[in-house]
């Protein structure tokens, strides 16, 4: 990757220095232990680079978000602590806030959207105990965030921002401080750091630290295709609000990147390489991380490793992927596997119009399906006084290349088969 970097000086309240982050590291060190930096043989072999995983999923709250929360809350005045804390989160920031509230004895009220997995909700209550009240409201983070701000205005409680605040960004920047320290003990320096992007708190903290202490390090910012708020902001040259987001990668499903975060990102465009990855690719990498490295990554936590498959890396360069979180509900794995199969071209859905004649199902099985094709879904309701009956059929192929032959056999058959394309309204309505 191109390591030529030209950084403009920040001249705004968003300006954050490495010294600020080092002070935060000292401030939170009594509460937060460093997370491991682990060499990954699989991803190193795939890419030809020397790949390390920064295991933020091993934090007490299974996410880097505890850093910004503890750094922010530990600096509150006695008056602010007495008034209490309010926060909005898709789940991980909320756990960090809850942890801080309980450990520091401060009352907190936390708003999360309805899409927040039950596993994350339960963990918030476990970490916060009696010090935290959980409020589920809104369809996405932005709606929950609005409710949190309204509550703060009405009560005087202090907002602890998940990403769009200076102290939060400084706290998240301690991830970069640890990476440089850990690599330096090996006599190494990072050539590339791959960072997941939601609201922009983590990447703006990392950019701020590396700008001073490792200016030749490239930073890759990875977003899910269904919630690419950074890409939209870079195109418009300012933060913009997306009309809709796909909530699947819940830890990064943010409609609008933070203002302070965008300022920092914009000042570091020379070192930044933004990219998006599909939700299906994320699911595939989640499975790979679990089966090969034993890492239970949430969707946002797998963004960085997913991006490696599309990056052109120099052989032997030192690459760090931040595994940002591991708060994944086991009940979601059926959907994870499904999305992965579709992404890999192994799972397909069809509307099949069977002539209302005996033997048509047998013909479909014998003449259309291949030897390695497996029916995973078959929904059919026979109706009288009709020449055809429609079935929703899900097929899993032995290999993706079998699809062309399957389509040829379908086209040659008198049985009408219509392929449902992922992403179309018909697919979402019938399959989802």
* Crossing angle for the helix pair 18-28 and 174-184, to the nearest 10 degrees: 90
Estimate to the nearest angstrom the gap between the alpha carbon of 260 and the chain centroid: 21
Catalytic residue among 63, 278, 304, 324: 324
- Whole-angstrom distance, CA of residue 355 vs CA of residue 204: 60
Catalytic residue among 54, 65, 120, 347: 65
- Whole-angstrom distance, CA of residue 104 vs CA of residue 131: 10
SS3 call for 320:
strand
φ, ψ dihedrals at 13, nearest 5°: -60, -15
420, 430 Cβ separation under 8 angstroms = yes
CB burial class (10 A; 0-12, 13-18, 19+) of residue 50? Answer: buried
- Whole-angstrom distance, CA of residue 224 vs CA of residue 227: 6
DSSP code per residue over 62-99:
SBTHHHHHHHHHTT--HHHHHH-EEEE-SSHHHHHHHH
Residues 6+ apart with CB under 8 A from 253: 90, 115, 140, 141, 198, 224, 226, 227, 245, 246, 247
Q: What is the DSSP letter of 324?
A: -
324 included as an active-site residue: yes
Q: What is the DSSP letter of 9?
A: P
427 half-sphere exposure, CB direction, 13 A CA radius: 12
- Whole-angstrom distance, CA of residue 29 vs CA of residue 23: 10
65 included as an active-site residue: yes
- The C-alpha angle 33, 38, 44, rounded to 5 degrees, equals 155
- Whole-angstrom distance, CA of residue 235 vs CA of residue 237: 6
- Whole-angstrom distance, CA of residue 57 vs CA of residue 327: 8
Q: Which residues are catalytic?
A: 65, 324
């Amino acid at each position: 990757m191109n390591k030529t970097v030209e950084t403009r000086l920040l001249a705004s309240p968003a300006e954050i220095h490495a010294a600020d982050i080092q002070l935060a590291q000292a401030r939170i060190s009594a509460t937060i232990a460093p997370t491991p930096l682990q060499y990954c043989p699989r991803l190193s072999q795939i890419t030809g680079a020397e790949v390390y995983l920064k295991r933020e999923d091993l934090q007490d709250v299974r996410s880097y978000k505890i850093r910004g929360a503890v750094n922010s809350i530990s600096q509150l005045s006695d008056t602010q602590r007495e008034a209490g804390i309010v926060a909005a989160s898709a789940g991980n920031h909320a756990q960090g806030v809850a942890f801080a509230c309980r450990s520091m004895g401060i009352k907190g009220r936390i708003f999360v959207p309805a899409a927040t997995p039950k596993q994350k909700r339960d963990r918030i209550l476990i970490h916060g105990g009696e010090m935290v009240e959980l409020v589920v409201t809104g369809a996405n983070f932005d709606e929950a965030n609005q409710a949190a701000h309204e509550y703060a205005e009405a009560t005087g409680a202090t907002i602890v921002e998940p990403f769009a605040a200076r102290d939060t960004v400084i706290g998240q920047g301690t991830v970069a401080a640890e990476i440089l320290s850990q690599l330096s003990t090996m006599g190494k320096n990072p050539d590339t750091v791959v960072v997941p992007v939601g609201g922009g708190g983590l990447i703006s903290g990392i950019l701020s630290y590396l700008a001073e202490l490792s200016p030749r390090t490239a930073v890759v910012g990875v977003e899910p295709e269904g919630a690419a708020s950074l890409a939209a902001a870079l195109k418009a040259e300012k933060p913009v609000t997306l009309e809709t987001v796909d909530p699947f990668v819940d830890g990064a499903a943010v409609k609008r990147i933070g203002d302070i975060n965008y300022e920092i990102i914009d000042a570091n465009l020379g070192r930044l390489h933004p990219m998006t990855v599909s939700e299906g690719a994320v699911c595939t990498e989640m499975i790979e991380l679990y089966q090969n490295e034993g890492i239970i990554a949430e969707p946002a936590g797998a963004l960085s490793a997913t991006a490696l498959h599309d990056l052109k890396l120099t052989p032997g360069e030192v690459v760090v992927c931040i595994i940002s979180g591991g708060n994944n509900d086991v009940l979601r794995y059926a959907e994870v596997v499904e999305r992965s199969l579709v992404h890999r071209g192994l799972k397909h859905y069809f509307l099949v119009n069977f002539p209302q004649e005996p033997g048509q199902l047998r013909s479909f099985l014998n003449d259309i399906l291949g030897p390695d094709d497996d029916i995973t879904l078959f929904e059919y309701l026979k109706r009288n006084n009709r020449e055809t009956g429609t079935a929703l059929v899900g097929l899993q192929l032995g290999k993706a290349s079998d699809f062309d032959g399957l389509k040829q056999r379908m086209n040659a058959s008198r049985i009408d088969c219509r392929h449902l394309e992922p992403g179309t309204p018909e697919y979402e309505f019938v399959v989802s």
